């Protein structure tokens, strides 16, 4: 059987075998008494040195190898590499948690992120491959002519990719600091080294082959814990098949639990707290001084009595941590108020689509759900680092097949994520809710210490009600090994998988940014006569600069980093999708139309995000506070307006201007049958 | 501009049909998820199952069909390929 495989397939089979052996060996060592911290180190060192080995062996000084892996990547492996390229730390850690918190509503991410690949397959991949250059700006510039559109495309590609790459490096910092207990900033730069060993010497060629290796690790790491959990709960180790039954159990438990008297009481308490905060905010600045005085009086009273010092210190700290001025108080109390308000609402039923109290509310939910799907699909089909991968297959037919493999490998993870969420919810509802707080299992306390789980006994009955527990979305995947009582080696495996997901995506993004700068800006616009060697020197040095820059930004821990990932989709979608699709399918689209469409789409999206998220900041020039959302759409769906405006502007301006002369020849070339042609 | 070749006509017709199916699945069926949840499927409420797994398999199906049809179409028009 082994001989029927290609050489590459055999290599990766050996590689997977070695990795599994390594995991088994570590499990044995752990049983023999190796400390957990060493298990973490072993995973980190072993996987990163595997990637480094592949990276060093794939080093290259050939331009075509550096940008498009010599167009020799078979469809199957390109699919795997695209899978790893595509699935970031957000997919790996965040998706299951989002599904846990939002139930059916979270499925918008699953549908959107996979549906986009249908658009890639039908509308983009075969044409990009037939065109056969190096970057997305290359394609737009050849179709519409001129360097203006190239530079706009470069700008949009860098804008979308840079926020995304910062988020990945940030993710690496979080993983290394939590599992190997490195300092966060050190973790970020360890991650940087991990990214550079893959991409610096070998460009796309090295990135492709390490991404295949990373996909294998991440998928094993994702499925193992939930399969074991599924076996423990249902006796069948295929969670994707059996979680339907668990889901109906969950629904029954929800029915029983959510309206029980104690849950209602807890939610009432939260409502009261929200009201208190609302009152305090209304009475600013008076309420702040009052608060400070109240604490001072209490402290003085305690000091004169003979209570323990500990309680006084506690109160003094409370007084110290009071907001400094009314503006800060408003900001902090509003946050507390919204949090309490959210927890006072009846929890979502996991399987219920578009929940709401009235028909209008349900419709708003439905529209937000579909709008989010729309943005995510179009964004998926427009992210340059994914599209670039379809330049690397040997033929057009292989490019089409390779989309199939990409989607298949991605779906393996995406059908597992909802199962994670349901199993976790089952565990929480059946084993945690209603348990005395003193008797909660150990993993709850362990994650509470890191601040990802918090429990607050608001009604003071010593028992944890469902509404009293709050989980950070990232915790679901990371804590599942402990929930199911597995040894630490499984946790180490999950950390290695999350690391692989973050590193592979960061590599692809970094390569997109550097090829946009070195190929599109430096070579195509400034120095068309530069030698190929020199172009590679430029590309490699830029890679280094951009990587260090991204790591420096990530080390600052920018707070809103995860929502920035969602914005990257809207930005990429509104800038690229209309220009690419109209460019291929509508001969009449002109240069002026495309430029206008890209600018309008991009500006509208960026404007909507800025107004909605940063409306209150006067230094950005907005003095009248945050914008009211249009049609109740959140900023993560900002792309809806940008994409539609991009299409409308492109079509309108194109009809007003004269068609570009080179378009006909270009379209003739990419619309030709291309069955067996070899790489140019 | 010359008249579009029959290859391109067939390609765009196939693309349009598959795209229509994609739109109906993604935005049409999902719209009725509440109503579909009344039915049960392998223990799942059907609306939930469709959004979590069914629709993904349909997406794969669309891509497989496109890839096959285009391969055949390429073979039919093999004589029009000029050497690069």
Query: How far off is chain A from B13, nearest CA to CA, in Å?
Result: 11
Q: Which of A402-406, A474-478, A621-625, B27-31 has the lowest average pLDDT?
A: A621-625
Give the per-residue pLDDT at A21. Answer: 93
pLDDT tens figures, A6-61: 888 888 999 999 999 999 999 899 888 888 788 888 888 888 888 888 888 888 87
Distance CA A207, CA B65 (A): 30
pLDDT tens figures, A71-81: 888 889 999 99
Give the per-residue pLDDT at A678. Answer: 42
Mean pLDDT of chain A: 84
Distance CA A294, CA A277 (A): 16
How many CB atoms lie under 10 A from the CB of residue A336?
15
- Model confidence at A409, pLDDT cuts 50, 70, 90, reads very high
pLDDT tens figures, A468-526: 888 877 778 888 888 777 888 898 899 899 989 988 998 889 888 888 888 888 888 88
> What secondary structure letter does DSSP report for B53?
I
Residue A584 to residues A124, A380, A590, A664, Cα–Cα distance (Å): 8, 18, 12, 11
User: Within its chain, how far is the Cα of A166 from the centroid?
Assistant: 11
| Six token digits for residue A292 | 């400070």
In A, which residues are within 8 Å of B60 by CB distance? 404, 407-408, 411
- Model confidence at A679, pLDDT cuts 50, 70, 90, reads very low
Distance CA A604, CA A648 (A): 13
8 Å CB contact of B30 and A668: no
Q: Which of A109-123, A201-215, A298-312 has the lowest average pLDDT?
A: A298-312
| Six token digits for residue A465 | 């009600």
Give the per-residue pLDDT at B61. Answer: 95
pTM score, whole prediction: 0.87
Give the per-residue pLDDT at A4. Answer: 67
Domain boundaries, chain A: 2-233+367-420+487-670, 261-345
Q: Is the pLDDT of residue A624 over 80?
A: no
Residue with tokens 């290599």: A11
Of the candidates A601, A579, A573, A581, the one whose C-alpha atom is nearest the C-alpha of residue A592 is: A579
Q: Look at chain A and count its residues.
A: 680
Give kind and range of the element (H or E) at residue A78: helix A75-86
Higher local confidence (pLDDT), A400 or A310: A400
Q: What are phi and psi of A284, to 5 degrees?
A: -65, 150
Identity of the residue in B47, B77, B80 whose CB atom sits nearest the CB atom of A353 = B47
User: Within its chain, how far is the Cα of A482 from the centroid?
Assistant: 23
The percent of residues above 70 in pLDDT, for chain A, comes to: 94
8 Å CB contact of A587 and B1: yes
CB A120 within 8 A of CB A381: yes
Q: Is the pLDDT of residue B15 over 90?
A: yes
Give the per-residue pLDDT at A146. Answer: 83
Strand partners, B45: B40
Q: Is the pLDDT of residue B80 over 80?
A: no
Residue A189 to residues A416, A542, A552, A669, A678, Cα–Cα distance (Å): 31, 17, 9, 46, 42
Identity of the residue in B59, B71, B82 whose CB atom sits nearest the CB atom of A115 = B59
List of residues 6+ apart from A188 with CB closer than 8 A: A169, A170, A172, A173, A551, A554, A555
Q: Is the pLDDT of residue B75 over 60?
A: yes
Q: Is the pLDDT of residue A558 over 80?
A: no
Give the per-residue pLDDT at A348. Answer: 81
Give the per-residue pLDDT at A25. Answer: 92
pLDDT tens figures, A416-441: 999 989 998 888 888 888 888 888 88
In B, which residues are within 8 Å of A249 by CB distance? none
pLDDT tens figures, B20-74: 999 999 999 888 888 888 888 887 888 889 999 999 999 999 999 999 999 999 8
The percent of residues above 90 in pLDDT, for chain A, comes to: 21
Q: Is the pLDDT of residue A559 over 70?
A: no
User: Within its chain, how far is the Cα of A256 from the centroid?
Assistant: 34
- Model confidence at A676, pLDDT cuts 50, 70, 90, reads very low
Q: Which of residues 29-58 of B touch A (CB under 8 A)?
A: 30-31, 33-34, 37, 41-45, 47-49, 51-53, 55-56
Distance CA A134, CA A153 (A): 14
Distance CA B61, CA A577 (A): 23
CA dihedral for A496, A497, A498, A503, sign (positive or negative): positive
Domain A2-233+367-420+487-670 part of CATH 1.20.1730.10: yes
- Model confidence at A365, pLDDT cuts 50, 70, 90, reads confident
């Amino acid at each position: 059987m082994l001989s029927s495989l290609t050489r590459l397939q055999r290599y990766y089979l050996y590689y997977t075998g070695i990795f599994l052996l390594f995991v088994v060996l570590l499990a044995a060592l752990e049983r023999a008494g190796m400390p957990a911290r060493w298990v973490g180190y072993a995973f980190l060192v072993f996987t990163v040195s595997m990637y480094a080995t592949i990276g060093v062996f794939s080093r290259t000084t050939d331009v075509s190898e550096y940008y498009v892996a010599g167009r020799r990547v078979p469809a199957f492996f390109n699919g795997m590499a695209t899978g790893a390229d595509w699935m970031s730390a957000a997919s790996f850690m965040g998706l299951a948690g989002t599904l846990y918190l939002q139930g059916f509503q979270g499925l918008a991410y699953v549908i959107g992120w996979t549906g986009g690949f249908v658009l890639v397959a039908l509308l983009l991949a075969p044409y990009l491959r037939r065109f056969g250059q190096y970057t997305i700006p290359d394609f737009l510039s050849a179709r519409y002519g001129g360097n203006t559109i190239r530079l706009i495309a470069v700008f949009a590609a860098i804008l979308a990719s840079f926020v995304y790459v910062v988020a990945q490096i940030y993710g690496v910092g979080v993983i290394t600091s939590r599992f190997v207990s490195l300092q966060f900033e050190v973790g970020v730069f360890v991650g940087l080294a991990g990214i550079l060993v893959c991409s610096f010497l070998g460009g796309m060629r090295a990135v492709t082959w390490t991404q295949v290796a990373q996909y294998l690790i991440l998928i094993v790491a994702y499925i193992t814990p939930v399969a074991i959990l599924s076996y423990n709960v249902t006796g069948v180790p295929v969670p994707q098949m059996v979680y339907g039954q668990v889901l109906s159990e969950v629904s029954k438990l929800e029915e029983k639990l959510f309206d029980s008297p104690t849950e209602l009481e807890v939610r009432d308490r939260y409502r009261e707290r929200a009201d208190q905060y609302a009152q305090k905010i209304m009475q600013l600045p008076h309420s702040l001084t009052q608060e400070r005085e109240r604490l001072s009086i209490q402290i003085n009273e305690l000091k004169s009595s003979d209570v323990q010092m500990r309680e006084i210190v506690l109160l003094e700290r409370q007084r110290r941590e009071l907001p400094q001025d009314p503006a800060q108080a408003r900001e902090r109390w509003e946050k507390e108020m919204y949090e309490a308000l959210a927890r006072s609402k009846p929890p979502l039923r996991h399987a219920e689509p578009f929940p709401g109290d009235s028909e209008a509310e349900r419709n708003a939910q439905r529209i937000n759900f579909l709008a989010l799907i729309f943005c995510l699909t179009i964004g998926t089909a427009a992210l340059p680092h994914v599209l670039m991968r379809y330049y690397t297959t040997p033929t057009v037919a292989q490019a089409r097949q390779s989309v199939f493999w990409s989607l298949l490998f991605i779906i393996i993870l995406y059908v597992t994520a909802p199962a994670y969420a349901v199993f976790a919810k089952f565990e929480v509802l059946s084993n945690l809710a209603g348990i005395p707080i003193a008797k909660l299992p150990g993993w709850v306390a362990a994650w509470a210490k890191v601040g990802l789980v918090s429990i607050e006994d608001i009604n003071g009955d010593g028992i944890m009600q469902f509404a009293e527990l709050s989980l950070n979305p990232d915790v679901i995947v990371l804590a599942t090994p402990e929930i199911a009582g597995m040894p630490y080696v499984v946790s180490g495996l999950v950390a290695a998988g999350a690391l692989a997901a973050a590193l592979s995506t960061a590599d692809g993004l970094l390569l997109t940014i550097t090829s946009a700068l070195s190929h599109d800006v430096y070579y195509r616009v400034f120095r068309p006569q530069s030698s190929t060697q020199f172009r590679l020197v430029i590309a490699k040095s830029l890679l280094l600069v951009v990587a260090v820059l991204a790591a420096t930004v990530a080390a600052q821990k920018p707070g809103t980093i995860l929502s920035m990932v969602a914005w990257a989709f809207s930005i990429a979608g509104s800038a690229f999708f209309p220009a690419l699709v109209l460019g291929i399918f509508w001969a009449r689209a002109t240069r002026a139309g495309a430029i206008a469409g890209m600018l309008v789409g991009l500006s509208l999206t960026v404007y909507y995000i800025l107004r909605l998220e940063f409306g209150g900041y006067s230094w950005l020039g907005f003095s009248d506070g945050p914008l009211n959302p249009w049609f109740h759409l959140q900023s993560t769906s900002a792309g809806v307006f940008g994409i539609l405006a991009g299409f409308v502007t492109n079509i309108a301006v194109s009809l007003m201007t004269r068609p570009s002369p080179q378009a006909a020849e270009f379209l003739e070339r990419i619309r030709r049958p291309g069955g067996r042609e070899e790489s140019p | 501009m010359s008249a579009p070749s029959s290859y391109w006509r067939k390609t765009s017709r196939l693309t349009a049909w598959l795209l229509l199916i994609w739109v109906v699945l993604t935005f049409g069926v999902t719209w009725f998820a509440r109503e579909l949840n009344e039915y049960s499927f392998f223990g799942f409420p059907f609306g939930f199952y469709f959004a979590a797994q069914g629709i993904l398999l349909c997406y794969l199906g669309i891509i497989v069909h496109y890839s096959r049809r285009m391969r055949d179409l390429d073979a039919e028009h093999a004589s029009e390929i000029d050497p690069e």
